[in-house]
Amino acid sequence: MYDKYSKLNNITIGSKLPLHKGILLTNSNATPAGVTMHFYKQTGGTQAGLIYVAGGFEVLPIEVHTIPQNFPAGVTGFYLS
């Protein structure tokens, strides 16, 4: 079952993201690119992870704490609310 997203918001790199329903990542390059993110852990705190985005777009229906580094060339990202 998919959630309803009604707003696309810019991400401020290095800042905690406000409450949101997911992340939209786009990659205009043919080469997959890795995006580092900090995710919430069930036990508290955060965990870093690397998500690869192939050409096109990906919707991650999860809440992300922070995107600590600039996006790779060709990649843009938004948080969905």
pLDDT per position as a tens digit, 30-53: 899 999 999 999 999 999 999 999
CATH number of 8-80: 2.60.120
Amino acid at 47: Q
DSSP-assigned letter for residue 20: -
Closest among 81, 60, 70 to 17, alpha carbons compared? 81
In this predicted structure, the answer to whether residue 78 has a pLDDT above a threshold of 90 is yes
Q: What does the domain layout of the chain look like in residue ranges? A: 8-80
Q: What is the pLDDT of residue 19?
A: 94
The separation between CA 42 and the C-alpha centre of its own chain, rounded to angstroms, equals 18
What residues are paired with 23 via a beta bridge?
Answer: 60, 79
Q: Confidence band (pLDDT; 50, 70, 90) for 5?
A: confident
Q: What is the pLDDT of residue 62?
A: 92
**Burial code of 57-70, b = ≥16 C-beta within 10 A, e = fewer?**
ebebeeebbbbeee
For range 47-61, the mean pLDDT: 93
